[in-house]
């Protein structure tokens, strides 16, 4: 009922109208398309197969065309006053650039590849198409500008799929020296994904009735999709590794009394009621099933050693820098140096360990060298985050403590450190996440082969010995080469596991190793997050 | 004030520096009147002893001359209000009285501050002891993120007066009872006991702003100070909480010497026994009995300030 050019807005929105419902359906359709595209990208939906009795590509094409048509119809209807909206005079430059980008790609590809006019013409055609899309977005009133170019994009993509111009078996040979080709398996999901995003953006704007509210809706949809896809990709990655890794992990698993290996708990020998050979065995000639126990234990000890080394040093350094040192050139130099150290490539740390530590600790790769190398890697992050955490402790606490006549060190110990602890723990969590998955330094300082025998499982606690001569305590276990999960995974992939080796299924073995690595790293995360939660709670609600 | 006569000569160079300050409104009226007012306030005679004696106190923050030759005597067991516009140096002055300005590296302090006749700006002053005797309450409530009990026991614990640590508990020497008595006494003195007695182990940050400020006062009382410095303690609080703090200050002045900085002139008039007016530039312009300062100020600038014409 609103005439074209009417700008005033009703204070109270009328109930949901049919047109609102249409826009909402369009938003929903975009969401469905987005989900389908992601599923197809990860091979969860087969492009050659069919969905709901329709061939997948045809279904995608049909949905895209329908969405494009709806979006255009909504825009045109609004322009001619059949739909009540509050559009601005123009969709704006950013929307113009947004619409121009896909049209540049389409124009260039069609001119250079489909029509075979060569690269130069392709560039010109791409720029021209983009310019038209830009003008079509920016020049007309917002309801037309933000729907027609995007609706047309959806329509073109959909029709290409519908007509079979790009079908499930389509391949584009790039013709480079290497064998490189863009296949339908990649192109169809990706173009559907982007089209769905654009469709969602346009229909969300339409649902909001264009104008300020429409833009808010459009931005909301984009931000929401962004956040959702981050979570989704993380979930997909973890799920992928779990699904692939489970068979290898459970290979030869037995339940039942006395099936597991025998361990001694407080001097009493107990046979575990469960046997998971992958987690409980090393590699040996007579094992029925091979496992990665030495690598698991190696990883855990590595991280523990690195944390024990880096946390006191790092927190101490941060304390000195924030509480004692005069802020000036010296602290600036230290700050730059720590930041630089944090961005130093890990292989450089590895080389340092190889050249400096190994000759000093038994002249061979050892767990101790690995721990120290990783400790040095962790150190800068602990310094940086602890410093941030201490700087964010309000000065009021320090003033209050000083006004009670409490000395500086006591203030630091009882007020500053407890308040900074959650931040320090966060830094350690981040750092552990990095070093636990680090391969290069371990390669040079600690690793001992692709297949690590069970006898090489580091028994650090049991390894301590007292000697009569200085240094009075020795631990040969720390000086032994062992393995860690990231290195083991790397070695399995590069050195390969032949069919003749006694590892049953090489692929399963690798995926299971990856899964165990993931679980170990995530467990460290969980410990860190629990610790942080505990300290935060103590600060907030004692 | 027997010793008042001797330092009077020392104030002479001070008045000179004040008169050389060219663009101050007061000096344009008459350099002479400055001298007169100063003489008069130094003769301000109060009952009782001078708890703190400040003479010729100058504070610089780098190039900035924040406090210019302030001299003043603070009587025992009374409330002294410091008023003046923002940036006039009254908080700086307050922070000089327990050497909190030492914590600002750019601050340089000249002059003399005596506590019970003992100079606090000299080598060998035990800052721990000084700050135990001269406590401080800050503008915004700043309880530690600990329990209410811990907040109050914090000072005495750190000074070794209370030992409730693991070792003390193991050796059966824990001072838990003494601590609880101390917590109750301080909270009662700060008029907070009735409101929090059933949740002493809750985090202090869960209290309301006014309760937090009274907790800070209680925390300040826990180390048994003789003087309590308050830096606009009620400026972040609502009128009801402010009224409670004011009542509390009134009660505290029976046992403690209270020096309070405030922006609120009505508040100063309500609670203080004597008032010192600082004006822009870091000068102490008038100091005297509160009624006299508010009803019959000697300085025109102070009258303008109090009646709202200036500042």
Winning range, highest mean pLDDT, from A70-79, A382-391, A468-477, A530-539: A382-391
B220/A contact by beta carbon, under 8 A: yes
Q: Which residue of A has its CA nearest to B129?
A: A405
Whether B138 sits inside 8 A of A418 (CB atoms) is no
Q: pLDDT tens-digit profile of A453-481? A: 666 677 777 777 777 777 777 777 777 77
Q: Which of A89, A86, A74 is nearest to A2 (CA)?
A: A86
Q: Among A30-44, A302-316, A389-403, whose mean pLDDT is lowest? A: A30-44
C-alpha to C-alpha distances, A164 to A14, A52, A62, A157, A182, nearest whole angstrom: 44, 19, 12, 11, 17
Q: Say yes or no to pLDDT of B264 above 50.
A: yes
Q: Which residue of B has its CA nearest to A410?
A: B158
Whether B145 sits inside 8 A of A404 (CB atoms) is no
Q: Which of B132, B66, B117 is nearest to B94 (CA)?
A: B66
In-domain check, residue B155 = no
Question: Which residue has better confidence, A402 or B31?
Answer: A402
Distance separating alpha carbons of residues A299 and A277, to the nearest angstrom: 18
Query: Between B100, B145, B159, which is nearest A403 by CB?
Result: B100
Q: Which of A446, A50, A505 is nearest to A278 (CA)?
A: A505
In-domain check, residue B195 = no
* The token pair that represents A383 in the structure block: 């310094």
* The token pair that represents A30 in the structure block: 């975009």
Q: Say yes or no to pLDDT of B10 above 60.
A: no
Q: Say yes or no to pLDDT of A10 above 60.
A: no
Whether B144 sits inside 8 A of A402 (CB atoms) is no
The beta-carbon contacts of A282-285 under 8 Å, at least 24 apart in sequence, are A282/A452, A282/A453, A282/A454, A282/A455, A282/A456, A282/A457, A283/A451, A283/A452, A283/A453, A283/A454, A283/A503, A284/A453, A284/A454, A285/A502
- pLDDT for res A259: 66
The complex scores an ipTM of 0.78
Question: Which residue has better confidence, A251 or B157?
Answer: B157
Please answer whether residues A187 and A60 qualify as being in contact, where contact means their C-beta atoms are separated by less than 8 angstroms. Answer: no
Q: Say yes or no to pLDDT of A281 above 50.
A: yes
Please answer whether residues B284 and B252 qualify as being in contact, where contact means their C-beta atoms are separated by less than 8 angstroms. Answer: no
The domain spanning residue B14 has which CATH number? 3.40.50.300
Q: Say yes or no to pLDDT of A247 above 90.
A: no
At residue A89 the predicted structure's pLDDT band, cuts being 50, 70 and 90, is confident
Q: Which of A209, A249, A211 is nearest to A92 (CA)?
A: A211
Query: Which is the CATH superfamily of the domain at A281-540?
Result: MetI-like (1.10.3720.10)
C-alpha to C-alpha distances, A526 to A425, A429, A519, A521, B125, nearest whole angstrom: 12, 9, 10, 9, 50
- DSSP at B254: T
Whether A400 sits inside 8 A of B216 (CB atoms) is yes
Percent of chain B whose pLDDT exceeds 70: 84
- pLDDT for res B166: 76
- pLDDT for res B3: 40
> By CB neighbour count within 10 A (0-12 exposed, 13-18 middle, 19+ buried), where does B267 fall?
buried
Percent of chain A whose pLDDT exceeds 70: 89
B139/A contact by beta carbon, under 8 A: no
Residue from B100, B132, B143, B144 whose CB has the most chain A CBs within 10 Å, to mutate = B144
In-domain check, residue B270 = yes
Mean pLDDT of A300-320: 92
- pLDDT for res A454: 66
SS3 state of residue A439 = coil
Q: pLDDT tens-digit profile of A58-76? A: 888 899 999 999 999 888 8
Q: Which residue of A has its CA nearest to B143?
A: A397
Q: Which domain holds residue B15?
A: 2-143+207-306
Q: Say yes or no to pLDDT of B9 above 50.
A: no
Contacts of B39 (CB under 8 A, 6+ apart): B8
Before A471, cis peptide (omega within 30)? Answer: yes
Distance separating alpha carbons of residues B16 and A537, to the nearest angstrom: 59
Please answer whether residues A389 and A427 qualify as being in contact, where contact means their C-beta atoms are separated by less than 8 angstroms. Answer: yes
Q: pLDDT tens-digit profile of B163-206? A: 777 777 777 777 788 888 999 999 988 888 988 989 888 888 88
Distance separating alpha carbons of residues B129 and B121, to the nearest angstrom: 13
Domain range list for chain A: 18-91+140-233, 281-540
Residues in chain A within 8 Å Cβ distance of B236: none
CA end-to-end span of chain A, whole Å? 61
Please tell me the total count of domains within chain B. Answer: 1
Residues in chain B within 8 Å Cβ distance of A402: 100, 103, 131
Query: Between B142, B155, B206, which is nearest A397 by CB?
Result: B142
- pLDDT for res A524: 87
Please answer whether residues A253 and A244 qualify as being in contact, where contact means their C-beta atoms are separated by less than 8 angstroms. Answer: no
Mean pLDDT of B14-26: 39
Please answer whether residues A199 and A68 qualify as being in contact, where contact means their C-beta atoms are separated by less than 8 angstroms. Answer: yes
The sign of the dihedral angle between the CA atoms of B254, B260, B264, B266 is positive
SS3 per-residue string spanning A142-201? HHHHCCHHHHHHHHHHHHHHHCCCCCCCCEEECCCCCCCEEEHHHHHHHHHHHHHHHHHH
At residue B47 the predicted structure's pLDDT band, cuts being 50, 70 and 90, is low
Percent of chain A whose pLDDT exceeds 90: 17
Q: Among A20-29, B169-178, B229-238, B254-263, whose mean pLDDT is lowest? A: B169-178
Mean pLDDT of A358-381: 88
Q: Average pLDDT, whole number, for chain B? A: 80
Q: pLDDT tens-digit profile of A439-460? A: 888 888 887 666 666 666 777 7
Distance separating alpha carbons of residues A147 and A200, to the nearest angstrom: 11
Beta bridge partners of A110: none
Residues in chain A within 8 Å Cβ distance of B146: 418, 542
Phi then psi dihedrals of residue B174, to 5 deg? -65, 140
Q: Among A1-15, A134-148, A280-294, B1-15, whose mean pLDDT is lowest? A: B1-15
Helices (H), A353-449: 367-391, 395-403, 408-411, 417-436, 440-445
Distance separating alpha carbons of residues B311 and B305, to the nearest angstrom: 6
A-B Cβ pairs (cutoff 8 Å, strict): 77
Q: Say yes or no to pLDDT of A293 above 60.
A: yes
- pLDDT for res B220: 92
Q: Which residues of A touch B (CB under 8 A)?
A: 326, 394, 396-397, 399-407, 410, 414-415, 418-419, 539-542
Please answer whether residues B223 and B155 qualify as being in contact, where contact means their C-beta atoms are separated by less than 8 angstroms. Answer: yes
B201/A contact by beta carbon, under 8 A: yes
Q: pLDDT tens-digit profile of A161-202? A: 888 777 777 777 766 666 677 787 888 888 898 899 999 998
In-domain check, residue B235 = yes
Q: Say yes or no to pLDDT of A131 above 90.
A: yes
Whether A542 sits inside 8 A of B203 (CB atoms) is yes
Contacts of A172 (CB under 8 A, 6+ apart): A113, A181, A182, A183, A187
- DSSP at B147: B
SS3 state of residue B126 = coil
- pLDDT for res A179: 67
Q: Average pLDDT, whole number, for chain A? A: 83
Distance separating alpha carbons of residues B24 and A122, to the nearest angstrom: 76
Whether A407 sits inside 8 A of B158 (CB atoms) is yes
At residue B218 the predicted structure's pLDDT band, cuts being 50, 70 and 90, is very high
Mean pLDDT of A523-539: 86
């Amino acid at each position: 009922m609103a005439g074209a050019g009417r700008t005033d807005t009703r204070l109270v929105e009328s109930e949901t109208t049919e047109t609102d419902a249409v826009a909402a359906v369009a938003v929903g359709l975009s969401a469905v398309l987005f989900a389908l595209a992601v599923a197809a990208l990860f091979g969860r939906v087969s492009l050659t197969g069919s969905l709901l009795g329709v061939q997948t590509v045809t279904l995608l094409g049909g949905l895209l065309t329908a969405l494009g048509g709806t979006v255009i119809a909504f825009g045109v209807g609004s322009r001619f006053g059949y739909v009540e909206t509050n559009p601005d005079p123009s969709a704006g430059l950013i929307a113009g650039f947004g619409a121009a980008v896909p049209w540049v790609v389409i124009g260039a590809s069609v001119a250079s590849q489909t029509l075979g006019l060569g690269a130069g013409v392709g560039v010109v055609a791409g720029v021209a198409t983009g310019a038209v899309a830009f003008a079509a977005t920016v020049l007309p009133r917002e309801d037309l500008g933000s729907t027609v170019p995007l609706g047309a994009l959806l329509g073109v993509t959909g029709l290409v799929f519908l007509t079979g111009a790009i079908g499930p078996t389509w391949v584009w040979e790039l013709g480079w020296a290497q064998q490189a080709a863009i296949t339908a398996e990649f192109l169809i999901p990706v173009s559907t994904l982007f089209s769905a995003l654009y469709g969602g953006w346009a229909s969300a704007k339409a649902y909001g009735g264009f104008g300020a509210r429409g833009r808010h809706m459009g931005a909301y949809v984009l931000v929401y999709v962004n956040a959702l896809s981050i979570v989704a990709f993380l979930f997909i990655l973890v799920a992928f590794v779990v699904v692939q890794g489970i068979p290898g992990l459970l290979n030869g698993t037995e339940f039942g009394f006395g099936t597991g290996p025998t361990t001694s708990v407080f001097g009493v020998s107990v046979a575990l009621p469960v046997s998971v050979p992958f987690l409980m065995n090393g590699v040996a000639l007579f094992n029925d099933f091979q496992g990665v126990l030495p690598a698991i234990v190696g990883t855990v000890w590595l991280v523990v050693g690195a944390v024990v080394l880096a946390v006191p040093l790092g927190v101490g350094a941060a304390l000195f820098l924030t509480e004692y040192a005069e802020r000036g050139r010296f602290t600036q130099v230290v700050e730059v140096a720590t930041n630089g150290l944090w961005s130093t490539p890990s292989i450089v740390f590895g080389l340092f360990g190889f050249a400096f530590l190994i000759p000093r600790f038994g002249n061979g790769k050892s767990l101790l060298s690995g721990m120290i190398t990783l400790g040095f890697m962790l150190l800068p992050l602990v310094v940086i985050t602890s410093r941030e955490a201490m700087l964010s402790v309000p000065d009021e606490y320090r003033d209050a403590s000083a006004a009670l006549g409490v000395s500086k060190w006591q203030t630091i110990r009882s007020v500053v450190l407890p308040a900074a602890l959650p931040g320090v723990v966060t830094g350690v969590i981040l750092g552990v996440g990095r070093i636990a998955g680090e391969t290069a330094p371990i390669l040079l300082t600690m690793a001992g082969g692709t297949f690590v025998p069970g006898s090489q499982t580091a028994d650090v606690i049991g390894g301590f010995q007292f000697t009569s001569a200085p240094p009075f305590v020795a631990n040969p276990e720390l000086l032994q080469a062992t393995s860690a999960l990231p290195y083991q995974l790397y070695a399995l992939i590069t050195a390969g596991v032949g069919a003749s080796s006694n590892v049953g299924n090489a692929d399963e073995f690798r995926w299971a190793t990856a899964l165990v690595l993931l679980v170990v790293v995530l467990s460290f995360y969980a410990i860190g997050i629990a610790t942080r939660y505990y300290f935060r709670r103590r600060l907030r609600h004692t | 004030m027997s010793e008042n006569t001797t330092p009077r000569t020392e104030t002479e160079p001070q008045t000179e520096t004040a008169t050389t300050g060219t663009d101050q409104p007061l000096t344009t009226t008459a350099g002479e009147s400055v001298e007169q007012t100063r003489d008069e306030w130094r003769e301000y005679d109060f009952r009782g002893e001078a708890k703190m004696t400040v003479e010729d106190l100058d504070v610089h923050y780098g190039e900035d001359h924040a406090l210019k030759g302030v001299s003043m005597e603070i009587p025992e067991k009374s409330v002294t209000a410091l008023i003046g516009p923002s940036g006039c140096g009254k908080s700086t002055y307050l922070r000089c009285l327990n050497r909190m300005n030492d914590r600002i590296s750019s601050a340089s302090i000249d002059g003399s501050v005596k506590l019970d006749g003992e100079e606090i700006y000299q080598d060998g002053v035990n800052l721990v002891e000084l700050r135990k005797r001269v406590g401080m309450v800050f503008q915004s409530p700043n309880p530690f993120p600990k329990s209410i009990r811990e907040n109050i026991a914090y000072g005495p614990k750190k000074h070794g007066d209370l030992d409730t640590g693991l070792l003390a508990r193991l050796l059966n020497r824990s001072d838990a009872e003494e601590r609880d008595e101390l917590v109750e006494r301080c909270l009662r003195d700060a008029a907070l006991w009735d409101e929090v007695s059933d949740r002493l182990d809750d985090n202090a940050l869960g209290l309301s702003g006014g309760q937090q400020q009274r907790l800070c006062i209680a925390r300040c009382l826990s180390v048994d100070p003789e003087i309590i410095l308050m830096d606009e303690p009620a400026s972040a609080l609502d009128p009801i909480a402010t009224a409670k703090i004011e009542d509390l200050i009134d009660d505290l002045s029976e046992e403690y010497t209270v020096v309070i900085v405030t922006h609120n002139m009505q508040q100063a008039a309500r609670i203080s026994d004597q008032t010192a007016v600082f004006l822009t530039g870091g000068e102490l312009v008038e100091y005297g009995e509160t009624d006299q300062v508010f009803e019959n100020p000697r300085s025109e600038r102070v009258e303008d300030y109090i009646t709202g014409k200036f500042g």
